[in-house]
Amino acid sequence: MRVWALKGQTPIVRSDPSRKKVCFYGTLNLLTGKVIVTRTETMNSAATATHLEAVLAAYPEDPLLLLWDRAKWHGGEAVRQVLAANPRLEVMKLPVAAPELNPQERVWKATRCAVSHNHQIGKLSSLADEFEAHLKENTFPTSTLKFHGYLSLRPMFV
């Protein structure tokens, strides 16, 4: 990433020597631009299932179509159980190695730019708090539905 620094002075980038990490799941509503966020310590089937439950709770009556990349943690027994128990939740997998097709990737990029680029936040927990707050407090409009003609067809199905 690019950073600002005085000419001739190399910026010092500090890193935490521990192996701590924070992970986020995010699901972007393509109509509203709102994101459902789940913060976790690891990305695995159980954490994915927890996030799916949060998505289902956020939209208790609606049929849902998830556009998913092919991350390994999107599978596993816990995920299969949630999908089997909730037939209104359908998954469509995106092609391999095609992040440009995943609208959520633009959300991650916008949030990283807003929160962590050219900012100094000394503690991982503070950075994670700001990252999560940005995701929850902002909307992320996308042209995905318009590009694929959904908005013109939607009135026929509502």
Q: Based on the number of CB atoms within 10 Å of its own CB, is 35 exposed (0-12), middle (13-18) or buried (19 or more)?
A: buried
Query: What is the structure's pLDDT at 30?
Result: 92
- Domains of the chain, by residue range, sit at 23-156
**What CATH number belongs to 23-156?**
3.30.420.10
Q: How do residues 82-96 score in pLDDT, each as one tens digit?
A: 999 999 999 999 999
Band of pLDDT at residue 5, cut at 50, 70 and 90: confident
Q: How far apart are alpha carbons 143 and 147 in whole angstroms?
A: 6
Confidence (pTM): 0.84
